[in-house]
Amino acid sequence: MSHSAAGHCDPAVQVSAESLATVDEASSDSSDEYDGDLNDDLDDALRGDFEFTGSYYHRSVEPNAPNPGLTIEGLGLVGLPLSERDATAIVSLSAQAPFGKGLHTVIDTTVRDTWEIEPAKISFANPAWLPFVDQIATQKVWASLGVAPFTTRPKCELYKLLLYQKGSHFRPHQDTAKANGMFATIIIVLPSAFEGGEVHVSHAGTTTVLDIAKDSAFSTSVLAWYTDVVHEVKPLTAGYRLALSYNLIHTSPNAPKPSLPNLQEGPLQLFKDTLQRWKDDKYPEDCIPDPALFAFMLAHQYSQLDIKRGLSALKGKDAFLVSHLLPIAQEMGFVFCLANLVKTVSGSADDCGYSYSKRRRSGYWGRYDEYDDDDDGETPDILEVEEESMEISNLIRITANEAVDLGVGKFDLSSEALVPRTAFDHLSPDDSEYEGYQGNYAGNVDQWYRRSALVIYNEVDEISIIMSISGAPSLLRTLPFTETPTAKARQIVNIVLLKGLDGITATTVLSHAVLWKDHVIWNKAVQCLTSLDAIQSAIIKGRDVFGLDTLQPGLSGRIKKCGTLKDRFSVTKVVATHFSDGMNTPWIKDIINDALVSYSSASVADVPNLVQLAQELEDGLTKLATTVIPKTAAQPNSYDFHVTLTEALEALKNQMENSEGNQDKADILSGLVRQSLMAAASQWSSQPPPPPPTAYSYMHANSTLSPTVLGERINRLIKMCFSTGNSDVCTEIGKFIGVDRQMDLLSASRAHVGNNTPPWVQEIMKSVVSTYSNPAISHIPTLTWMAKELGPQCIDSLVANKIPKSGIYEFLFALAKSLQECLSLLSRDQNTTEDTKVAFKMAISRCVQTFIPQWEAGVQIVTAYTGYGPYRTAIPAAGPNAKVKRILDIVEFCFTIGDLSPCTTLFRYLLQIQGNTNVANRFKEVHSPLVPLLKAILTKHNKDILLEPFKSFFKGTISLYLGRILGVVPPAAITVLPTRSVTCSCAECNRLKTFLGDSNQTLDIMAVQAVRTHVEKQIALARIGPIITLDTIRGRTPYTLRITKRNEVMAGFKWKEAQTEALKFVQVVGGNDENLRQLMQERYDDMIKSFSGTKTFVVGQLTVGGAAVVAPSTSAAPVPGPSGSSGVGGSAANTAVAPVAGGKRKQRPPPPTNIIDVIDLT
């Protein structure tokens, strides 16, 4: 064991003494029950007379030591490092060193073979040498030997110059005190290259080897020990060692001479007795913690790196304690370990919310104030402890010569295992963290105490301790790889085999089994390997030692342990490569057959393996047909498996068909494909296999598949039927899916049928016509195909009788367009009959007749805004809104089919505005944006606004605007504004003039009295007082002059604005005056009078004229109505729209002359 004090540069290697005092047999043999406590006894032993903080020796290398300028009488200055020439000269001037034997001083080179020179012949030319020696003696050596501080400076007297040459040595001996007060010897070895010459120092049963040879050539080394320490100098094997021997002399009065404590009795014996009782199970079971170890807190704290160095890292009292106890522990079969020990304490803080904030304080083991909110604050104390725990980490087993990491990681330490139990009492935490005051209560404080510990346990318990802490991996790491197993090694391997292995641990056990040539262990361990590479490597290593036949039990067991067919096949392939018959090796084949016979998991991942097995095994295809597919077909949730299997078998069949000599297998595979396809069809609506259970399994509750997924499955099955040559299976699929999904079946079949539709497809079409009731836009291509195959009458009937009459505008519109496109294609075919064309037109008309009443259903106009509060403004739409777009689409479609009759019906709906409707909003959303876009469509088709039914719609729209938006003439006479105006152009008067011409009702002028008086004077001069009121607001200075227009004046302004907006709208609709005259006809004069305010416009009875005949934009002719009428809107006669604004109003007296004298329609 080594002791390292401050200044030690290299660890010293320690070995135990050859003999130690034996344990008292009476104590060992006693069978009397012992009622003491093991924790307390260990505490008493470890805290005995070990207060000595020094060491019995010192060793250091001093690379910065000065050259002493060594001068020898008769030789002169000696060069360093020592040369051969100077060494020979020194020998010539030296005497053989004697030694004391009893009362005599003798020379015997068998005991001591050394040259010496008296100090009187020695001097030092370098004045720095003596201060260096004094500093070494009074500081480094003094501290290492643990001497109490001196009051009078000690002496360090030169005793001899010693020269060792090859073969020189000194047998074990103790130094005698050569002067009063001498208590230690200091040896300063000067730079002189040599080998060997180790110094063995021994005390209290412990021996330490001090080897300084490797630093000898260019460094000065210092050795020291107490005079009662036994020491020995081993023979030099090469070179010379030149050393100065000094006597260290104590001079402080009234202080005893320093000496080493005698530990042979007292604490050492107490420690032996305690270990013996522990070993003999004398302590009650409840005295032994679990795991069975104790941790004694050391005096110093050591880092993780320090602890990994082992004994050499220990300092002071710790080094002294362990150096004396370790040999005893080892002799009695106990183990010493060094470790880091952390205690964590948590609890509520002593904080009322006034003084502390969130903070973290770190002490010895971390930096300070990692996230302090208050640099001057402190972490509060814990008011009430809520939780305590201790943790051991970095467990390093130490011996005299090495330190071994047991690799157990971190583990909890019970309070009963801490020696003493109160070791942390009265200590301050090294680190603390406070989460801060939580508003109504104090937060939590966490405190950490970090220390180092000496861990002690009985070596016989080591296996169980490591297993309980960290399991088999750590336990196996303690085993060396040897060809001859020890009993302990076999015990460890058997234990880990019994506990179960993971892949890495199994690999380690296999390595031991191969070295031990133990096939039983190998066959057990190989079954626990997880990776294929590990299995491959294990077989290669095992076959060379045991032979393949010997490995069969283990390999067979490994294959059978596979949870899935995929894993079993993967492992089997690896194993089979080592046998000449491969997969057809009898015992391997039996395992695979058993797997196939029992297979029912229906996992998609197994499909490649099943197909490969079917190829490689002699009866593999038969096994699929007779066992695998029937069993998996009976399993729920096997749809994905059978679809994947069908595709894989079809690919294999195609491969066989393209290779010679495999037609028989291709025929068998054709049957397997059909069999698997039928199995997939039978499971078409089954759920996928559930995911592995997890903490969130409730999120994967079993539920029915969505219609989209079911449709995708049908499409995939139908595609596979046609791609595998099994189109007749489609009828079987139809039986499985039922009538509700027949449309999906047709949709999936449409792309594969071609021009010649099979009878079974037509039968399904008829079934769909009779049951179809859930329209979807995705069905439209199939419905159009049905119209082509069965005749469009089926669609006419379906729309008239089967599907809902509301909420399906988009479906009907898309269907009508699709039927129109189909009609256009058929019209180009000379074989298409007129009856077919008429039938298509009737079906289209039926769709249009049904969707026009729904033009507004389900449409929401969403306006996007930007900004917030008073700054919130609407973002202009990029195009027409949804309602306007629908109207435009219908109008365009009417031009496409060459029939404007549906527009008559549409426009009638547009003009039917109920009395409680906000007409202004209606016009803002629909009519106003619609009018210019309708005119654009007419221009596109070379039509003008006088084309019916557009003429009637535009006329009705103007009428509605004038009657429902422009409204009635103001009830009171509009005040005539004065002819004079404000003449002043100052800033406030300019504001007044602007105000008089706009529609704002109030104007506030905050100004001093002179300005307010000026404005009032200008108002009087302009004679505008009768149309306004004046008030002075005195809430703040300067005062505010508030000018308010009278209500009758505001009515005039609003009427003026309404007239302007109405005129703009009418001009947008009609353009010039001539168009408006033709458009409004008999209502033209009423329109002019409503603008002038002389007459209120009464809407009256609105009519929509019959549609004009237009040429279709395709080859289609005008579409007849479904009942033989001329169009969707009924007869060509005008269609009346109920009056909206009521009957004739009572006439008011004409208003006085208005400020608007002329209505300019240009």
Q: What is the per-residue pLDDT for 49?
A: 63
CATH number of the structural domain spanning residue 142: 2.60.120.620
pLDDT more than 70, % of the chain: 86
The Cα–Cα gap between 955 and 37 comes to 112
The Cα–Cα gap between 664 and 312 comes to 80
Give the bridge partners for 341, in sequence order.
392, 451
DSSP string across 130-192 = HHHHHHIIIIIIHHHTTPPPPSSPPEEEEEEEEEE-BT--EEEE-PPP-STTEEEEEEEE-S-
Regarding whether 517 and 479 lie in a shared domain, the answer is yes
The yes-or-no verdict on residue 360 having pLDDT over 60 is no
The yes-or-no verdict on residue 941 having pLDDT over 80 is yes
Q: Which of 423, 451, 468, 414 is nearest to 307 (CA)?
A: 451
833: DSSP letter: -
Which of 361-375, 665-679, 761-775, 947-961 shows the lowest mean pLDDT across its residues?
A: 361-375
Residues, the chain: 1162
Give Rg (Cα) of the chain.
55
**Of 249, 284, 317, which residue sits at a domain end?**
249
Q: Quote the crossing angle between the two packed helices 780-790 and 759-771, to the nearest 10°.
A: 110
Q: What is the per-residue pLDDT for 381?
A: 82
Q: Which residues contact 438 (CB under 8 A, 6 or more apart)?
A: none
Q: Which of 619, 616, 621, 559 is nearest to 591 (CA)?
A: 559
747: DSSP letter: H
Range of the domain at 284: 267-351+365-375+386-426+449-461
Neighbours of 599 (CB within 10 A): 20
Residue 757, exposed/middle/buried by CB under 10 A (0-12, 13-18, 19+)? middle
The Cα–Cα gap between 1005 and 1014 comes to 11
The Cα–Cα gap between 897 and 841 comes to 9
Q: What is the per-residue pLDDT for 223?
A: 96
Give the bridge partners for 231, in sequence order.
173, 201
Regarding whether 100 and 183 lie in a shared domain, the answer is yes
Do 154 and 248 touch, CB atoms closer than 8 A? yes
The yes-or-no verdict on residue 330 having pLDDT over 70 is yes
In a domain, 228, yes or no: yes
What pTM did the predictor assign? 0.51
The Cα–Cα gap between 1137 and 908 comes to 6
Residue 1129's pLDDT band, with cuts at 50, 70 and 90, is very low
The yes-or-no verdict on residue 917 having pLDDT over 60 is yes
Selection from 736-745, 882-891, 988-997 with the highest mean pLDDT: 882-891
The end-to-end CA distance of the chain, in Å, is 117
| Geometric angle at alpha carbon 139, from 133 and 144, rounded to 5° | 110
Assigned token pair, 5: 């004090």
Q: What is the per-residue pLDDT for 843?
A: 94
The yes-or-no verdict on residue 1117 having pLDDT over 70 is no
Q: Which of 1032, 1033, 1044, 1048 is nearest to 1002 (CA)?
A: 1044
Assigned token pair, 517: 């040539």
3-state secondary structure string across 171-186? EEECCCCCCCCEEEEE
Higher pLDDT, residue 860 or 262: 860
Residue 699's pLDDT band, with cuts at 50, 70 and 90, is very low
**Of 1004, 1019, 1045, which residue sits at a domain end?**
1045
Phi/psi at 1053 (nearest 5 deg)?
A: -60, -45
Regarding whether 1056 and 1034 lie in a shared domain, the answer is no
Residue 694's pLDDT band, with cuts at 50, 70 and 90, is low
In a domain, 281, yes or no: yes
The Cα–Cα gap between 710 and 707 comes to 5
Q: What's the average model confidence in pLDDT over 195-204?
A: 90
Q: What is the per-residue pLDDT for 584?
A: 76
Q: What's the average model confidence in pLDDT over 262-291?
A: 85
Residue 377's pLDDT band, with cuts at 50, 70 and 90, is low
Regarding whether 418 and 283 lie in a shared domain, the answer is yes
b/e per residue, 409-432, with b = 16+ CB within 10 A? eebebeebbbbbeebbeeeebbbb
Residue 784's pLDDT band, with cuts at 50, 70 and 90, is very high
Which of 373-387, 464-478, 621-635, 904-918 shows the lowest mean pLDDT across its residues?
A: 373-387
The Cα–Cα gap between 669 and 169 comes to 93
Positive/negative CA dihedral, 762, 763, 767, 769:
positive
The Cα–Cα gap between 825 and 820 comes to 9
Positive/negative CA dihedral, 552, 554, 559, 561:
positive
Phi/psi at 1076 (nearest 5 deg)?
A: -65, -40
Regarding whether 314 and 422 lie in a shared domain, the answer is yes
Q: Quote the crossing angle between the two packed helices 729-737 and 707-723, to the nearest 10°.
A: 160
Regarding whether 996 and 966 lie in a shared domain, the answer is no
Assigned token pair, 82: 């020592």
Q: What is the per-residue pLDDT for 1162?
A: 36
In a domain, 728, yes or no: no
Q: Give the rounded distance of the alpha carbon of 131 from its chain centre.
A: 65
Assigned token pair, 1076: 């408006």
The yes-or-no verdict on residue 972 having pLDDT over 60 is no
Higher pLDDT, residue 504 or 889: 889
The yes-or-no verdict on residue 31 having pLDDT over 70 is no
Q: What's the average model confidence in pLDDT over 453-477?
A: 86
Q: Which residues contact 39 (CB under 8 A, 6 or more apart)?
A: 287, 294, 416, 417, 419, 420, 421
Q: What is the per-residue pLDDT for 860?
A: 84
Average pLDDT, the chain: 83
Please write the tens of the pLDDT for every residue from 391-405. 999 999 998 788 988
Number of domains in the chain: 5
Please write the tens of the pLDDT for every residue from 84-106. 999 999 999 999 989 877 677 88
Regarding whether 1084 and 959 lie in a shared domain, the answer is yes
The Cα–Cα gap between 100 and 93 comes to 22
In a domain, 1026, yes or no: yes
The Cα–Cα gap between 522 and 514 comes to 7
In a domain, 1073, yes or no: yes
Q: Which residues contact 344 (CB under 8 A, 6 or more apart)?
A: 387, 388, 389, 390, 391, 446, 447, 448, 449
Residue 959's pLDDT band, with cuts at 50, 70 and 90, is very high
H helical segments located in 602-638: 607-616, 620-623, 629-633
CB-facing half-sphere around the CA of 517: CA atoms within 13 A = 6
Selection from 367-381, 605-619, 631-645 with the highest mean pLDDT: 631-645
Which of 21-25, 177-181, 646-650, 875-879 shows the lowest mean pLDDT across its residues?
A: 21-25
The yes-or-no verdict on residue 850 having pLDDT over 60 is yes
Q: What's the average model confidence in pLDDT over 574-603?
A: 83
Which of 167-176, 204-213, 643-652, 1073-1082 shows the lowest mean pLDDT across its residues?
A: 204-213
Residue 1149's pLDDT band, with cuts at 50, 70 and 90, is very low
Q: What's the average model confidence in pLDDT over 416-430?
A: 92
Residue 613's pLDDT band, with cuts at 50, 70 and 90, is confident
Regarding whether 1068 and 950 lie in a shared domain, the answer is yes
Higher pLDDT, residue 121 or 548: 121
The Cα–Cα gap between 730 and 678 comes to 10
Q: Is 205 left (phi over 0), alpha (psi -120 to 50) or beta?
A: left
Selection from 329-333, 378-382, 1109-1113 with the highest mean pLDDT: 329-333
* CA–CA distances in Å: residue 43 to residues 37, 71, 267, 369: 10, 56, 11, 37
Q: What is the per-residue pLDDT for 596?
A: 81
Positive/negative CA dihedral, 266, 269, 272, 277:
negative
Q: Which of 83, 105, 129, 167 is nearest to 246 (CA)?
A: 129
The yes-or-no verdict on residue 131 having pLDDT over 60 is yes
In a domain, 271, yes or no: yes
Q: What is the per-residue pLDDT for 1?
A: 35
Regarding whether 201 and 171 lie in a shared domain, the answer is yes
DSSP string across 878-913 = SS--HHHHHHHHHHHHHHHHT--HHHHHHHHHHH--
Residue 1152's pLDDT band, with cuts at 50, 70 and 90, is very low
Which of 236-240, 283-287, 703-707 shows the lowest mean pLDDT across its residues?
A: 703-707
In a domain, 466, yes or no: no
b/e per residue, 524-553, with b = 16+ CB within 10 A? bbbbbbeeeebbeebbeebeebbeeeebbb
The Cα–Cα gap between 774 and 767 comes to 14
The yes-or-no verdict on residue 974 having pLDDT over 60 is no
Regarding whether 141 and 283 lie in a shared domain, the answer is no
Q: What is the per-residue pLDDT for 438?
A: 63
In a domain, 652, yes or no: no
Q: What's the average model confidence in pLDDT over 691-715?
A: 68
Regarding whether 223 and 109 lie in a shared domain, the answer is yes
Q: What's the average model confidence in pLDDT over 183-202?
A: 95
Q: What is the per-residue pLDDT for 1009?
A: 92
Q: What's the average model confidence in pLDDT over 795-812?
A: 91
Q: Which of 1153, 1140, 1094 is nearest to 968 (CA)?
A: 1094
Residue 74's pLDDT band, with cuts at 50, 70 and 90, is very high
Phi/psi at 839 (nearest 5 deg)?
A: -65, -40
Regarding whether 927 and 1074 lie in a shared domain, the answer is yes
Q: Which of 394, 396, 379 is nearest to 448 (CA)?
A: 379
Residue 255, exposed/middle/buried by CB under 10 A (0-12, 13-18, 19+)? middle
**Of 186, 215, 249, which residue sits at a domain end?**
249
